[in-house]
Amino acid sequence: MVIRKISILIIIVLLAAAGAGYKFLDNNTKENLTRRVEGFKSLVPPINILCSYSDKLDYYYFTGDNPLWEKNNKFGIYVYAENADFFEIAQKLVNSNGGKWGYVLIPYNVKDNDVDKWTRVFEQLNSKQLIPIIQLWDVEVSDYKRQTDRAAEFLNSFKWPIRFRYISVYNEPNDEKFWYGRVDPKEYAEILEYTIDSFKAENADFVLMNGALNTSAPSNNSSMDAFAYMRAMNDAVPGIFEKLDAWASHSYPQPNFSGSPYVSGRWSIRAYDLELDYLKKSLDVEKGLPVFITETGWAHAEGDAYNDQFLPVETIAEYFRIAYEEVWLKDDRVRAVTPFTIRYDPPFDHFSWINKDKVPYKHYDELRKIKKVKGEPPVLQSATINLRRCAEDE
C-alpha cells in the first residue's frame, strides 16, 4: 500500500505540472520537477514490486533563457513569406561557411490570418535554422487595438524556432510614405506602447523593438527629423523607449545608397551609434538596448535595367565585406543585420541580392565566403517523462 500511494503521489505531481503548462517547460522547471520525483522515489522502501512504463508525458522546453546568448550569428537578410524559395536562398547565405542560426526579417500584415501560409513559414524557419524578425505593417489606426491583439495571438500560435520572438513595430513612421500620408509621433508612440503591452501579455518571450526610423529624412512637409521625432514620441508617451527590449535601426550608406563603409554619422552604416547616443544622453534612457539593423545596404547598378547612378556590384560586394568584418561583427551591441532585400521588383531591384532568375549577385557570393559563427540560441527541444505504474508482487 505504501508503494501504491507514493506512486500515485508521483503521478499526481506530474499531472499537476501538466495542468500548469508542463507541456512547455524551461530547464529550471524541468530540473525542479525531476528532483521532486526523485525525492518521492527515495521514500520507497526496498519491497519487491512489479513496474511497467505504460504512460508517457511528452513536453517541450527551451535550452536556455539568455536573450543575449554568446555565440550569435549576426548575418541575416530581408525576405518575404509569400515566396517559399527565398528561405532556402537565405539559408545558403546566412548559414554558410560554418554558420548556424542566422536571421531573416519578414514583413507581416497584422490583418493576415492565413494559417496555412504561416505554418509553412515557421516550418521552414525551424528546419532551416533561421531566426525570424517579424516586422508589422498595415495596421488600421481606427482599429489598431483589436488588430494588434489578434496579431499577437495569431503569431504566438506557431512553433517558433527559438525562445525569443522578435517583433519590429512598423516601419519608418517619421516618413509619411510609411504612415498613412502623415507624420504623427504621438499617434505612433501610443500604438507602439499598446503593441508592446499586447504582445507581452500574450507571451513574455516576445522581444519588442521600435519601427526603425529614416535617419536621413529632414523635417519638412512629408517627413520629420528622426531625433526630433524621437523627442516628440517621448513627450507624448513618457518612458516609451524604456519599454523596448531592443532597438531597430535603418543604417543606410548615404547619399544615394552609395556612401563609403568607413564614414560615420546619421547617413552611414553606423547611424545606430547616434540613435543610441541620443536615447541615452537626450532622452535619459538607462536601458542598454541591443541593436537589430533591420534594413541597410548599397544599391547596385545592375538590375532589370542598368542604372549608372549606383555603384557597380563589384564595389558594393567589397563594401559589404568591409561593413561586416570591420564594423558590425566587431560591435557587441549589434545582434543582427538584415540587409534590404533578397529580391524586389523595379525600381527596388537595385537592392536585390538575386536577380529575377534567382541567380545571386556578386555580393551574395562574397558574403557566403565570410567565416560565420555557429549560433547557439535557446532552441526548442522535446522530451518524454515515463509515468511509472507499479504493483506489489504477490
Angle ∠(236,238,241) on CA atoms, nearest 5: 105
The reply to whether 97 and 25 lie within a common domain is: no
247 vs 22: which has the higher pLDDT: 247
Q: What whole-number percentage of the chain has pLDDT above 70?
A: 85
Task: Look at residue 20 and tell me whether its pLDDT is greater than 50.
Answer: no
- Parallel, antiparallel, or unpaired for β 334-337 and 291-295? parallel
Question: Would you place residue 247 in the very low, low, confident or very high pLDDT band (cuts 50, 70, 90)?
Answer: very high
pLDDT at position 61 is: 87
164 grid coordinates = 525569443
pLDDT at position 389 is: 61
Average pLDDT along the chain: 89
pLDDT at position 31 is: 59
Q: Cis omega before residue 290 (within 30°)? A: no
pLDDT at position 30 is: 54
Task: Look at residue 12 and tell me whether its pLDDT is greater than 50.
Answer: no
Q: Return the amino acid letter for 378.
A: P
Question: Would you place residue 387 in the very low, low, confident or very high pLDDT band (cuts 50, 70, 90)?
Answer: confident
- Parallel, antiparallel, or unpaired for β 380-392 and 49-62? antiparallel
| Strands of 43-120, DSSP E | 49-62, 76-78, 102-109
The reply to whether 149 and 36 lie within a common domain is: no
Task: Look at residue 2 and tell me whether its pLDDT is greater than 80.
Answer: no
Instruction: Note whether 283 and 234 are within 8 A (CB).
Output: yes
Q: C-alpha 273: how far from its chain's center?
A: 21
The reply to whether 44 and 101 lie within a common domain is: no
Host H or E run for residue 28 = helix 27-42
Any idea which of 44-58, 207-221, 222-236, 359-373 has the lowest mean pLDDT? 44-58
Task: Look at residue 327 and tell me whether its pLDDT is greater than 50.
Answer: yes
Q: Is 71 within a domain?
A: no
The reply to whether 182 and 85 lie within a common domain is: yes
Task: Look at residue 3 and tell me whether its pLDDT is greater than 80.
Answer: no
pLDDT digits over 161-202, tens only? 999 999 999 999 999 999 999 999 999 999 999 999 999 999
Q: Which residues pair with 249 in a beta bridge?
A: 293
- What is the SS3 assignment for 11? helix
What is the domain extent for residue 214? 76-369
pLDDT at position 26 is: 53
Q: Is 70 within a domain?
A: no
Contacts of residue 175, defined as CB under 8 A and 6 or more positions apart, other chains included, come to 183, 214, 217, 222, 223
Q: Is 69 within a domain?
A: no
58 grid coordinates = 511528452
The reply to whether 57 and 157 lie within a common domain is: no
Question: Would you place residue 57 in the very low, low, confident or very high pLDDT band (cuts 50, 70, 90)?
Answer: confident
Nearest-angstrom CA–CA distance, 351 and 338: 12
Average pLDDT over residues 228-246: 98
Contacts of residue 316, defined as CB under 8 A and 6 or more positions apart, other chains included, come to 297, 298, 299, 300, 363
Question: Would you place residue 96 in the very low, low, confident or very high pLDDT band (cuts 50, 70, 90)?
Answer: very high
CATH number for the domain that contains residue 80: 3.20.20.80
Sign of CA dihedral 22, 27, 31, 34: positive
The reply to whether 235 and 280 lie within a common domain is: yes
Task: Look at residue 160 and tell me whether its pLDDT is greater than 90.
Answer: yes
pLDDT at position 4 is: 43
Task: Look at residue 21 and tell me whether its pLDDT is greater than 90.
Answer: no
pLDDT digits over 286-325, tens only? 999 999 999 999 999 999 999 999 999 999 999 999 999 9
Nearest-angstrom CA–CA distance, 120 and 330: 35
The reply to whether 58 and 102 lie within a common domain is: no
Average pLDDT over residues 58-78: 94
Number of domains in the chain: 2
The reply to whether 311 and 192 lie within a common domain is: yes
Sign of CA dihedral 314, 101, 333, 331: negative
Instruction: Note whether 289 and 246 are within 8 A (CB).
Output: yes
pLDDT digits over 111-126, tens only? 999 999 999 999 999 9
Q: What whole-number percentage of the chain has pLDDT above 90?
A: 81
57 vs 202: which has the higher pLDDT: 202
**What b/e string do you get for 347-359 counting C-beta neighbours within 10 Å, with b at 16 or more?**
eebbbbbbeeeee
Instruction: Note whether 98 and 138 are within 8 A (CB).
Output: no
The reply to whether 125 and 51 lie within a common domain is: no
pLDDT digits over 253-276, tens only? 999 999 999 999 999 999 999 999
55 vs 325: which has the higher pLDDT: 325
Q: Is 374 within a domain?
A: no
pLDDT at position 196 is: 98
pLDDT at position 35 is: 56
